[in-house]
């Protein structure tokens, strides 16, 4: 591909991405995290619990959890068996309880119990990787330091041809390259909502999809 062809292809790709963003914003203007929270700490804990678990299930557990543990110090001092029992229905509760307690201990020791607002600091916490950090940064602090890649973002972005990878880290890099930084927070919410409402894993509703004309995977 010569330079002119390359520029033309890039221009077409940018146009397609811009159209996808516009349609997603029109379709899901209220897209945001489905995890119930009232503070950065609550969202951080809820996001850890959401691994391999639905947001709906997490939201059934967290009212009891957050009534029992209100601060980072509370979680750091938590009795492990009690903590496990409360979060048991979210699955993998032994590991999640360990991460939550260690994360809270790190918060108390490193940040006086307050959730930091940078990717570099958040990812120093036990059990907090890029995805979890980006959820908190985007939804609580309004900061775009990356793109959240969950199972819905992974599936929908692949079907739309925004990435050719199934690796979350590579997908994030592809989306960060294609999507303007000011839309990084929205694109994750938009793709997640679209994945839940239209582009399901087993039976995507292509006939009613507002993105069907832009989707190389569309069946209609």
Q: Is 4 exposed, middle or buried (0-12, 13-18, 19+ CB in 10 A)?
A: exposed
For the chain, give the longest Cα–Cα distance: 64
Please write down the long-range contacts of 131-135, taking CB distance under 8 Å and 24 or more positions apart: 131/168, 132/44, 132/47, 132/48, 134/188, 135/33, 135/35, 135/43, 135/47
Angle, helix 184-197 to helix 130-139, in steps of 10 degrees: 100
- How many whole angstroms separate alpha carbon 157 and alpha carbon 17? 11
In contact, 83 and 97? CB cutoff 8 Å = yes
* Residues taking part in catalysis: 131, 150
Residue 88 makes CB contacts below 8 A (sequence gap 6+) with none
Angle at 53 between CA 20 and CA 209, to 5 degrees: 25
- How many whole angstroms separate alpha carbon 185 and alpha carbon 166? 20
Q: Is 84 exposed, middle or buried (0-12, 13-18, 19+ CB in 10 A)?
A: middle
């Amino acid at each position: 591909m010569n330079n002119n062809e390359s520029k033309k292809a890039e221009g077409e790709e940018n146009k397609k991405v811009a159209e996808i963003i516009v349609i997603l914003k029109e379709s899901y203007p209220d897209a945001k995290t489905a995890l119930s929270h009232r503070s950065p700490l609550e969202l951080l804990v809820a996001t850890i619990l959401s691994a391999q678990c639905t947001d709906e299930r997490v939201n059934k557990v967290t009212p009891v959890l957050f009534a029992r543990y209100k601060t980072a110090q509370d979680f750091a001092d938590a009795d492990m068996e009690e903590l496990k029992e409360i979060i048991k229905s979210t699955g993998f509760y032994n590991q999640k309880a360990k991460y939550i307690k260690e994360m809270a201990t790190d918060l108390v020791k490193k940040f006086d119990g307050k959730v930091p607002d940078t990717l570099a600091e958040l990812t120093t916490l036990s059990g907090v990787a890029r995805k979890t950090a980006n959820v908190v940064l985007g939804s609580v602090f309004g900061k775009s330091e990356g793109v959240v890649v969950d199972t819905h973002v992974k599936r929908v972005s692949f079907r739309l041809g925004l990435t050719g990878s199934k690796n979350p880290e590579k997908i994030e890099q592809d989306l960060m390259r294609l999507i303007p930084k000011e839309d990084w927070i929205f694109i994750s919410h938009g793709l997640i909502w679209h994945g839940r409402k239209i582009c399901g894993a087993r039976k995507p509703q292509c006939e009613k999809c507002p993105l069907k004309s832009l989707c190389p995977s569309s069946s209609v």
